[in-house]
Every structure is written in structure tokens, then in C-alpha cells.
């Protein structure tokens, strides 16, 4: 979501003459868009700021020298630690949270005038989405020469009301909010018009989406996906991140019969122990998660899954951790993100006794990651020899090669025509490398001109 937010900040700033650059040293405005989810991410901000202070000192302050870099901290660290950032890094010009970046032009103007530092960590009554421009037409918000993206993110829902006891999101991103169907569709069409063939619908709790349609009726994520699936030129739809509690019948049906919806689902489970799930306030138990997976797989037998897992939640015993391993063995994931519990200020879990020692968390994480890695490798190996539809996204490093992704988000390299970029083509998977699959056009490159199947489906 921060990638999406950064792109929107670029869109907001474009009318002021700002364009993204690759090198911070060449920038007039540097925005650190930050994450507060775990301590490691949050601490990184201060080390990055230290480096920017040196850069800023070497180029002079904007208030004294036109063109000097303004430094801003955006995102959830800004939201959670606004005052603290200004105290620890007084050379920062702007601090603003994820709900106020539509006010960026005013902030920039104010600070550039020398009117002092801007701090904006409100949850404003006007939803920021109403004030954001549509994604810029081809090129304007992209760095020089960059090709518009074949895949794009689109935030449809923000915030969270679930209050898992370990999580800062409900505090930093605020309460759940769903954009209207019309607003989402307009943005989707703008993205497709500038070359996107795949959209990933984003939300902290994306399947809790409940947006108004033009007629005033409210639809869930399934209804939204069905609307977007009608857009010509849009080949693939994904969504992330979902909550197991909000996987409803309509969404399962959507996985069954909506060809543009990719058969790959990120469904965080966090733990395989009922005791821990309850302490986490997840609102479901292991049996319910299992049932949801069974129903999804019954609807879409080729569905692959990914998940998030936390090890070392306070009070997690060896038996709880074993239960997590058991669940992973049973479900089998095509990929997964796993984390050591990180005590976040202001969350209930940070105050629990029975914090798990760091060394034990490390040990559990290694054990879990070895299992998840083995599952991922086996999933990838299972692709060899198969024909898969790949959406090609860009030229690869080797001449004549292009790169794209399977329905399961696996990176693929293939010797194939550059004209395939931006479209879906069936390719045969030849081998599994450390970071990607290699593939060849179906029929082989020797069999005359490459037949380009124009099929756009999974």
C-alpha cells in the first residue's frame, strides 16, 4: 500500500512540477514513506534520516537556497511518531500521515515559503480519495523514459476495525473505509488506459470492502471484482490483504467463475494455535480457517495460497508453535511471509507478560521458514513441464528475454518477442531457478514465427 500511496503522492505533486527521480541527491523534495508495522521497519526511518541530514547539509536548506531538498516523512511512522520525529530530526520539513497526503501541495507551498515545519497527522473528515487526481496519463508521473507499468495497485479500502492485539494498523491507518464503486472503476479505467493489464486491489482488510454503487446499493469485494472484470484490456485481477473472517460465499463464488480473478490468494492465518489466535483477537479458530480453505479449493481446485505467520506471540508455547507447523504442513502454502512478534507501542500485546525470549523467536522463525521454503520450492518444481499463462511485464536483463508472472505470482523469464510485453501468453515452464522460472513459448521458438495466442485469461 505504501507503493500505491507513493505513486499517488507523485500524482498530487505533478501539477507543481515535481517528477520522480532515481537518485535522492538530485531531488528537490525527498519523501520517506514509512511503515510502522514492526520495530525494524520503524527504526530504519531514523537511520535513513541521518543520511538525508548529511545530504541536506551539503546542499543547503530550501529556505535559504532555492532548489535545496525539502525532506518529508510520510506514512505510518509519521502518523504514530510525528512529534518525536521532529524532535529527533529537526531538519525534517514535513511530517504527514497516510490520511493527509492529498494536502501535500499546501504543505510544500507553506514550507517552501519559509513558513515553518508542517505536521499533519489528522484523520480529516474529507476522505483523501475525493481530493486525489486520477492516476496521471502515460508518462507524466513517471521518471524520465520509464515505461508505464503493466501491473498496478489500486487501493479500494483502507484502515481496519479488527484490532488484532499485536497490530498498529487500526491506530495508524484509522477506521475501515471503502471507496465507492464508481471511484474505484474510474481509477481502474485510467490505469488500464495507460497500459495496466493487471490490477491488484489493495486494502488492509480488502475483503471487508463494502462500497456504494451508483444506485446507492452497497456491494462487497466480489461485487466490485465483477464490475472491474468487465473492463476491456484488463486481463488480471488480484486483491490483498484479506482476513479469514471476511471470506464470504460471494467471494468464493467469484473465485469459482470469474476468469480474470487469479487463482492465488494471500490469506493470513498468523498462528495455528486456537489459544494464540484467541489471544491475538483474530476472531476465528483453526478449524474455521481450514474450512474456509476447503471451500475455496472446492470452488477453485487450482487455487494456491500464501499467508502471514507470526512466531513468538506472548505466551506462545512449544505446543502452540507445533500446532502452527502442523497447520502449515496440512494446508501447504505456495509462498508465505513470516515474522517474529514485535511489541508495538500502544498495542495490547505489547503489555502482556510472558514475552517470548528473542533467541527462542529466532529458533522458531528458522524452523518455520525452512518448512515454508521447502513448500515453496516444491510448489515451483511442480510447474516444470506445465503450460501456464504468463503476463509479460518488461524486458529482462538478457537480450531477447522478457519477464513476467504466472497466475501464482511466480517470476518467469522467457526468450520471446518484446511485443508480448503487456499481454498474457501461454508458455511452457522449463526449469526452476533460484529466483524465477524459465519458460519457452509453446510450440518452441524453432517452429516458425511465434504464434501469439491472444487469449486473455487464466
Q: Does 256 bind ligand SF4 (CB under 6 A)?
A: no
One-character DSSP codes across 149-197: PSEEEEE-EE--S---TT--HHHHT-S-EE--HHHHHHHHHHHHHTT--
Q: Does 243 bind ligand SF4 (CB under 6 A)?
A: yes
Residue with Cβ nearer ligand SF4 (207 or 436) = 207
Instruction: In angstroms, give the least distance from the CB of 1 to ligand 5AD.
Output: 10
One-character DSSP codes across 390-414: EEEEEE-SSTTEEEEE-TT--EEEE
Residue nearest to ligand 5AD (CB): 308
User: In this structure, are residues 121 and 78 in contact, taking their beta carbons and an 8 Å threshold?
Assistant: yes
Could you give the CA distance from residue 162 to residue 383 in angstroms, rounded to a whole number? 37
By a kind-dependent CB cut-off of 5 to 8 A, residue 243 interacts, out of ligand 5AD, ligand SF4, none, with ligand SF4
Find residue 343's DSSP bridge partners.
none
Q: Does 342 bind ligand 5AD (CB under 6 A)?
A: yes
Residue with Cβ nearer ligand 5AD (91 or 163) = 163
Of the candidates 68, 170, 268, 314, which one interacts with ligand 5AD according to CB under 6 A?
Answer: 268
| Coil, helix or strand at residue 24 | helix
Give the single-character DSSP code of 451.
P
Could you give the CA distance from residue 23 to residue 30 in angstroms, rounded to a whole number? 10
30: nearest Cα among 99, 111, 114, 102: 111
Q: Does 159 bind ligand 5AD (CB under 6 A)?
A: no
Of the candidates 167, 192, 219, 225, which one interacts with ligand SF4 according to CB under 6 A?
Answer: 167
Q: Does 442 bind ligand 5AD (CB under 6 A)?
A: no
Residue with Cβ nearer ligand 5AD (239 or 339) = 339
How far is C-alpha 80 from the geometric centre of its chain's CA atoms? 20
Containing 52, the helix (H) or strand (E) segment is: helix 39-59
Of the candidates 204, 307, 375, 406, which one interacts with ligand SF4 according to CB under 6 A?
Answer: 204
Cell numbers at 266, concatenated: 494471500
By a kind-dependent CB cut-off of 5 to 8 A, residue 162 interacts, out of ligand 5AD, ligand SF4, none, with ligand SF4
Could you give the CA distance from residue 334 to residue 372 in angstroms, rounded to a whole number? 8
Q: How many residues bind ligand 5AD (CB under 6 A)?
A: 12
Region of 20-28, 162-170, 328-336, 416-424 interacting with ligand SF4 (CB under 6 A):
162-170
Give the single-character DSSP code of 270.
B
Of the candidates 160, 269, 328, 372, which one interacts with ligand SF4 according to CB under 6 A?
Answer: 160
User: In this structure, are residues 71 and 92 in contact, taking their beta carbons and an 8 Å threshold?
Assistant: yes
37: nearest Cα among 204, 273, 177: 204
> Edge-to-edge strands of the sheet including 70-74?
29-34, 70-74, 94-96, 118-120
Q: Does 167 bind ligand 5AD (CB under 6 A)?
A: yes
Region of 157-165, 288-296, 394-402, 438-446 interacting with ligand SF4 (CB under 6 A):
157-165
Q: Does 266 bind ligand 5AD (CB under 6 A)?
A: no
Binding letters toward ligand 5AD, positions 213-252, x by CB under 6 A: ----------------------------------------
Q: Does 37 bind ligand 5AD (CB under 6 A)?
A: yes
Instruction: In angstroms, give the least distance from the CB of 10 to ligand SF4.
Output: 25
By a kind-dependent CB cut-off of 5 to 8 A, residue 341 interacts, out of ligand 5AD, ligand SF4, none, with ligand 5AD
Could you give the CA distance from residue 293 to residue 16 in angstroms, rounded to a whole number? 48
Of the candidates 153, 209, 321, 341, which one interacts with ligand 5AD according to CB under 6 A?
Answer: 341
What is the contact surface with ligand 5AD in residues (CB under 6 A)? 37-38, 166-167, 268, 270, 308, 310, 339, 341-342, 344
Amino acid at each position: 500500500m505504501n507503493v500505491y500511496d507513493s505513486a499517488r503522492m507523485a500524482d498530487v505533486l505533478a501539477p507543481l512540477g515535481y517528477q520522480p527521480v532515481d537518485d535522492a541527491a538530485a531531488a528537490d523534495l525527498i519523501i520517506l514513506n514509512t511503515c510502522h508495522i514492526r520495530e525494524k521497519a520503524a527504526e530504519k526511518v531514523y537511520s535513513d534520516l541521518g543520511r538525508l541530514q548529511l545530504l541536506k547539509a551539503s546542499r543547503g536548506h530550501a529556505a535559504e537556497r532555492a532548489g535545496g531538498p525539502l525532506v518529508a516523512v510520510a506514512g505510518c511512522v509519521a502518523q504514530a511518531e510525528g512529534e518525536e520525529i521532529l524532535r529527533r530530526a529537526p531538519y525534517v520539513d514535513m511530517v504527514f500521515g497516510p490520511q493527509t497526503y492529498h494536502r501535500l501541495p499546501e504543505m510544500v507551498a507553506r514550507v517552501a515559503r519559509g513558513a515553518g515545519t508542517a505536521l499533519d497527522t489528522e484523520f480529516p473528515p474529507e476522505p483523501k480519495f475525493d481530493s486525489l487526481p486520477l492516476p496521471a496519463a502515460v508518462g507524466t508521473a513517471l521518471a524520465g523514459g520509464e515505461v508505464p507499468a503493466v501491473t498496478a495497485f489500486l487501493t479500494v479500502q483502507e484502515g481496519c476495525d479488527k484490532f488484532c492485539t499485536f497490530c498498529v494498523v487500526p491506530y495508524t491507518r484509522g477506521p475501515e473505509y471503502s471507496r465507492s464503486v464508481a471511484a474505484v472503476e474510474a481509477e481502474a479505467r485510467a490505469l488500464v488506459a495507460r497500459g495496466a493489464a493487471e490490477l491488484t486491489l489493495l486494502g488492509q482488510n480488502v475483503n471487508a470492502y463494502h462500497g456504494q454503487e451508483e444506485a446507492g446499493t452497497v456491494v462487497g469485494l466480489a461485487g466490485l471484482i465483477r464490475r472491474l472484470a468487465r473492463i476491456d484490456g484488463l486481463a488480471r485481477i488480484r486483491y490483498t490483504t484479506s482476513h479469514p473472517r471476511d471470506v464470504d460465499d460471494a467471494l468464493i463464488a467469484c473465485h469459482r467463475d470469474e476468469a480474470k480473478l487469479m487463482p492465488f490468494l494471500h490469506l493470513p492465518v498468523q498462528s495455528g494455535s486456537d489459544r494464540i489466535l484467541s489471544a491475538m483477537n483474530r476472531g476465528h479458530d483453526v478449524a474455521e480457517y481450514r474450512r474456509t480453505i476447503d471451500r475455496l479449493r472446492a470452488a477453485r481446485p487450482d487455487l494456491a495460497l500464501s499467508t502471514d505467520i507470526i512466531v513468538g506471540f506472548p505466551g506462545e508455547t512449544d505446543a502452540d508453535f507445533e500446532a502452527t507447523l502442523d497447520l502449515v504442513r496440512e494446508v501447504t502454502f505456495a509462498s508465505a511471509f513470516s515474522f517474529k512478534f514485535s511489541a508495538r507501542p500502544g498495542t495490547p500485546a505489547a503489555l502482556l507478560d510472558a514475552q517470548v525470549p528473542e533467541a527462542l523467536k529466532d529458533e522458531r522463525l528458522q524452523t518455520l521458514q525452512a518448512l515454508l521454503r521447502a513448500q515453496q520450492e516444491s510448489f515451483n518444481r511442480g510447474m516444470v513441464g506445465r503450460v501456464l499463462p504468463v503476463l509479460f511485464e518488461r524486458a529482462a536483463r538478457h537480450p531477447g528475454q522478457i519477464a513476467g508472472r504466472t497466475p501464482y505470482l511466480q517470476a518467469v523469464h522467457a526468450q520471446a518477442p518484446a511485443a508480448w510485453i503487456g499481454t498474457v501468453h501461454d508458455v511452457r515452464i522449463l526449469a526452476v531457478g533460484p529466483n524465477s522460472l524459465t519458460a519457452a513459448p509453446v510450440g518452441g521458438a524453432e517452429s516458425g514465427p511465434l504464434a501469439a495466442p491472444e487469449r486473455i485469461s487464466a
